[in-house]
Structure 1
């Protein structure tokens, strides 16, 4: 079957890509390997949706979802309806297993559907898989991990806990909250670190963040951490899934024993899959660097404007932020100024017919730690979707799309 644009991956980047491309009049197919849309937000209970950004598309989608604090149980239904209204064709349970190439051009993908292998062709394929499964199979060069030892950020099981007393519960969403004084005169940070050193918590759990959920008696827990995991390895992910879930129950026991209002807490929702922060970063025409984020750099060909999130590197070899890594001090994330992201980070250097969006774009390890979060990933997808639709309509190469011609789609 033939399409103008195929977006592979139904997470924030894929949603942004499909929504933007269809809004430009393109015939769009969205392929998703699982049975739900929403990516890590739905599959891995990752919330709230983080990252500030200037993006018409992101604003419209978040308005439909009710804001950044989403209901994981119904988010995918809202996304189905949103995309259906724009005429996007959606195919679930369709993991991509191959790429169709003609010379140096990607012309489509192969998907292992339940009924067998199917081939889908398009003028533009957008890789929104997170791990860059399409770009990898097409042979696009990539980097993985940080400089020196190649370690990637740890993976985490995030989960919902219910049964919390809404009048007595505490929250901990940032470093400032971690330093609040508890009833015994000690800070939350001190209590967690003592529990870690005393063996009540896993060695890698030195920070426990408790985010508000849509229900008053629930919190999202962001605390588990499994190191030395390659998110492109099934064996590594298997080990991480098991270890992360064990950690989740140890943390639950600690919360019930320690925090007022959590005495009757229980796990109300476990994720279907562990959350992965970082894997392949592909070679593009341009590359986003840490310095661009720190300085708040502007680009003439920006497809994302005023992206805002810290250089959030979780320690690849210990707990908390990147201890011993020169980019971060323990327990902190280096601040970034609102920055632009150029179109070139979406465009492979040597291959036509393909774009990438989300956390597999062309960026350094440090820059990715900022632009990987979901609202920015969605904006990157929107940029790719608008570019793909323009190329299909005008017959130009993706690398030659004039960004000035798609800005009205992306920005107010």
Structure 2
């Protein structure tokens, strides 16, 4: 027998954007449901071991992402689940934020419960029912049979714009020239790493590391990230199409998260490509671990301690929304009348076909604004999106996809969904000043 559920707001996708969207919606009093296909929350942060969170700050160290995102960090710190915001010793950003994924999974559930949000895991959205330009319900595939969920507003935080795509909202994918997307990465952790030995190597051979690495400050800073070992990598012959070694310290003292595999040319919304990507990613993990153990100082006694539940996805579908944020907007530090979030993360495009990464800094005060219009799709009137699938160009997605930015757009989307019900208007027609006022009251920096 098919079950039917009814809510005010349904958030599809239990990653950081979805968690924050559902909390924001629930706190307004809207009857809210969060749906997640895995048995736990956290999205790429937990499923794919995306770690650490980067970044809540601008290049000068000014914090521009707060609100629910900062609440989460504060509560993790209270539980010993995060040291808070630390200097990025790679030097790519000013700060990064380590966190313990298992503690984050549970904290998210606790905060959702406090906000009155119902959570349904092991549930996969496979169909969206639309009447005209209104989503009436979504269909879930579950172990206990099909479930139909109707709502007044839907928030798509699936990362792949699944709800938007299935509803018929216009979507885009990849770069304009060939629709190829940024590569996938199978991340993994290693224990038994001697980070003091790594730090000594960095101080002894600074030219072998990223040009912005704060070598002169390493005696005073905890080692949080390392990018380089160019010589060792170039001599390795490991058949992975990248140009350096990259890893981050933690969450344990002898542990690192390795971000070095690179699976290119596959579509993260194609199940056959995903199947191939999972196999290739795991092959690369073993090759990379063997290289680190044999060639990188400090890894002599290290071993794999965890591998992502699934391969990490940087880019798939995104909506073609009311406005598309561009690389020019980001680099110029553009602020908009309908800015609902700020970010200080630079452009960071992992080449869809080549070895390198395109990086562009942000001018002005080091932050750019994300317009509310980027959360509002064309055609479908009762849908908002947040996280990786908001409306941007391929190039601008290379900053908005990062977790703190996703958390910020999630809070904005959840707040807007609930407010539009209270105001009895379509999300597109929401009074932006009312939305911004509520966001600022709840700690968001605008």
TM-score, structure 2 length as denominator?
0.84
The residue that corresponds to 2:129 in the other structure is 100
Written as runs of structure 1 = structure 2, the 5 A alignment for 1:113-152 is 113-152=142-181
- TM-aligned CA deviation for residue 320 of structure 1: 2.8
Deviations 1:167-214 (A, max 9, x none): 323499x83377979xxxxx722221222xxx2x12313221110112
Written as runs of structure 1 = structure 2, the 5 A alignment for 1:390-401 is 390-401=419-430
User: After TM superposition, where is structure 1 displaced by more than 4 Å over at least 4 residues in a row?
Assistant: 177-181
The residue that corresponds to 1:335 in the other structure is 361
The residue that corresponds to 2:92 in the other structure is none
Unpaired stretches in structure 1, ≥5 consecutive residues: 182-186, 322-327
The residue that corresponds to 2:409 in the other structure is 380
1:11 aligns with 2:15: yes
The residue that corresponds to 1:159 in the other structure is 188
1:54 aligns with 2:89: no
Per mean C-alpha deviation after superposition, the further-off stretch among 402-411 and 260-269 is 402-411
Distance 1:222 1:11 in 2: 20
Distance 1:220 1:203 in 2: 17
Distance 1:410 1:158 in 2: 34
> For 1:366, what is the secondary structure of its paired residue?
coil
245, 254, 257: which one pairs with 2:291? 254
Distance 1:17 1:203 in 2: 37
The residue that corresponds to 1:310 in the other structure is 346
Instruction: Say whether the 8 Å CA contact 1:154–1:228 is kept in structure 2.
Output: yes
> For 2:334, what is the secondary structure of its paired residue?
coil
> For 1:119, what is the secondary structure of its paired residue?
strand
Structure 1 pair 408–61 and aligned structure 2 pair: CA distance change class (3 A) = farther
> For 1:267, what is the secondary structure of its paired residue?
strand
- TM-aligned CA deviation for residue 108 of structure 1: 2.4
Deviations 1:309-361 (A, max 9, x none): 1111101112231xxxxxx3xxxx11124101111111112211111111111
- TM-aligned CA deviation for residue 119 of structure 1: 0.8
> For 1:148, what is the secondary structure of its paired residue?
coil
Distance 2:258 2:10 in 1: 34
Distance 1:93 1:214 in 2: 27
Instruction: Say whether the 8 Å CA contact 1:28–1:88 is kept in structure 2.
Output: yes
- TM-aligned CA deviation for residue 253 of structure 1: 1.0
> For 2:396, what is the secondary structure of its paired residue?
helix
Per mean C-alpha deviation after superposition, the further-off stretch among 103-112 and 380-389 is 103-112
The residue that corresponds to 2:38 in the other structure is 34
- TM-aligned CA deviation for residue 122 of structure 1: 1.0
TM-score, structure 1 length as denominator?
0.91
Distance 2:429 2:169 in 1: 19
Distance 1:408 1:26 in 2: 18
- TM-aligned CA deviation for residue 166 of structure 1: 4.1
Distance 2:11 2:293 in 1: 43
Instruction: Say whether the 8 Å CA contact 2:242–2:262 is kept in structure 1.
Output: yes
Distance 2:345 2:408 in 1: 13
Distance 1:157 1:178 in 2: 25
> For 2:239, what is the secondary structure of its paired residue?
coil
Instruction: Say whether the 8 Å CA contact 1:7–1:127 is kept in structure 2.
Output: yes
Instruction: Say whether the 8 Å CA contact 1:131–1:280 is kept in structure 2.
Output: yes
348, 352, 355: which one pairs with 1:319? 355
Distance 2:321 2:176 in 1: 18
- TM-aligned CA deviation for residue 405 of structure 1: 1.2
> For 1:169, what is the secondary structure of its paired residue?
helix
> For 1:404, what is the secondary structure of its paired residue?
helix
Query: Aligned Cα RMSD in Å?
Result: 1.8
Deviations 1:39-67 (A, max 9, x none): 00100011001133433122112222334
Distance 1:253 1:115 in 2: 43
The residue that corresponds to 2:374 in the other structure is 345
Deviations 1:199-247 (A, max 9, x none): 2x12313221110112101001010001101010111111111111111
- TM-aligned CA deviation for residue 36 of structure 1: 0.8
1:191 aligns with 2:232: yes
The residue that corresponds to 1:184 in the other structure is none
Instruction: Say whether the 8 Å CA contact 2:76–2:103 is kept in structure 1.
Output: no
The residue that corresponds to 1:364 in the other structure is 393
- TM-aligned CA deviation for residue 75 of structure 1: 1.8
Aligned residues: 391
Distance 1:104 1:266 in 2: 53
Instruction: Say whether the 8 Å CA contact 1:207–1:319 is kept in structure 2.
Output: no
